[in-house]
C-alpha cells in the first residue's frame, strides 16, 4: 500500500469514526457533570462508541497509528473508561506491532490477588496510556502515577476526545505528551454538519 493510499484510508477512517462518535456518544442539551467537577451541556459517552463494532475497530486503528513510531511495549489506562479501549488496541495490535495490555484500578481489590494493576505489565517497561475522554488530565495522571511507581516509563497519553479544559498543559508539566484523536472543537456543529 502506498503512503498516499494509507493516508487516504486513515483520513476516511477518522471521518467515519467522527460520525459514529457524533451519532452514538455525543450528548447535548443537558447539564452533565464532568469528572473534573464542572458541568457542561456537551458530554461524550464514549463507551457507546468503544463498544460499537466499527467504532471500536476504528478507534483502535487510530490509537495504533498514533503509537506507530513509539517504543512502548504495553498499553493501559484507568478503569472503567479505558478498559474497552485497551482491549481493542491490544487485539488490533497483534497484526501490526503487538502490545500487551493492562488497566489500573481506582482502588485495590479487597479479594483475590488484591492488585492495583490487572493484566499484562512488567516493572520498568515502556508504557502508553489511553483514555476515552480527557478533561483536566487528573484521572489519567492517577494511572500514570501507579505505573511510574512500578518503574515504568510513561511519556504519552492518547485520548479519543480532549475536551480542551487544561489536560494538555497539566500533563505536560508532568512530562506527558497528550495526543488527541479529536478535540471538543471537532464536534462543534455548524449548519453544514449533521451528526
* Euclidean distance between CA atoms 111 and 113, whole angstroms: 6
Fold topology of 3-187 = Rossmann fold (3.40.50)
Tell me the whole-structure pTM to 2 decimals: 0.88
Domain residue extents for the chain: 3-187
Contacts by 81-87, CB closer than 8 A, 24 or more apart: 81/46, 81/47, 81/131, 81/132, 81/133, 81/139, 82/129, 82/130, 82/131, 82/132, 82/143, 84/47, 84/50, 84/51, 84/56, 85/50, 85/59, 85/60, 85/130, 85/131, 85/132, 85/160, 86/119, 86/130
Q: What is the pLDDT of residues 66-111, one digit of tens each?
A: 998 889 999 999 988 899 999 999 999 999 999 999 999 887 766 5
Q: What is the pLDDT of residue 114?
A: 60
Residues of the chain where predicted confidence (pLDDT) is lower than 50? 190-195
Question: Mean pLDDT, the chain, as a whole number?
Answer: 88
Q: What is the pLDDT of residue 84?
A: 95
Coil vs helix vs strand at 80: coil
Amino acid at each position: 500500500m502506498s503512503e498516499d493510499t494509507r493516508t487516504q484510508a486513515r483520513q476516511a477512517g477518522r471521518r467515519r469514526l467522527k460520525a459514529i462518535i457524533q451519532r452514538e456518544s455525543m450528548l447535548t442539551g443537558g447539564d452533565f457533570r464532568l469528572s473534573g467537577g464542572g458541568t457542561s451541556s456537551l458530554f461524550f459517552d464514549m463507551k457507546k462508541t468503544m463498544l460499537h463494532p466499527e467504532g471500536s475497530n476504528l478507534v483502535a486503528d487510530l490509537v495504533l497509528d498514533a503509537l506507530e513510531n513509539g517504543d512502548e511495549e504495553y498499553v493501559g489506562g484507568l478503569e472503567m473508561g479505558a478498559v474497552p479501549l485497551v482491549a481493542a488496541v491490544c487485539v488490533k495490535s497483534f497484526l501490526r506491532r503487538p502490545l500487551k495490555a493492562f488497566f489500573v484500578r481506582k482502588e485495590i481489590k479487597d479479594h483475590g490477588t488484591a492488585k492495583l494493576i490487572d493484566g499484562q505489565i512488567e516493572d520498568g517497561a515502556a508504557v502508553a496510556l489511553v483514555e476515552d475522554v480527557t478533561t483536566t488530565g487528573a484521572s489519567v495522571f492517577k494511572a500514570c502515577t501507579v505505573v511510574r511507581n512500578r518503574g515504568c516509563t510513561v511519556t504519552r497519553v492518547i485520548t479519543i476526545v480532549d475536551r480542551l479544559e487544561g489536560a494538555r498543559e497539566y500533563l505536560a508539566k508532568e512530562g506527558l505528551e497528550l495526543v488527541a484523536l479529536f478535540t471538543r472543537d471537532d464536534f462543534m456543529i455548524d449548519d453544514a454538519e449533521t451528526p
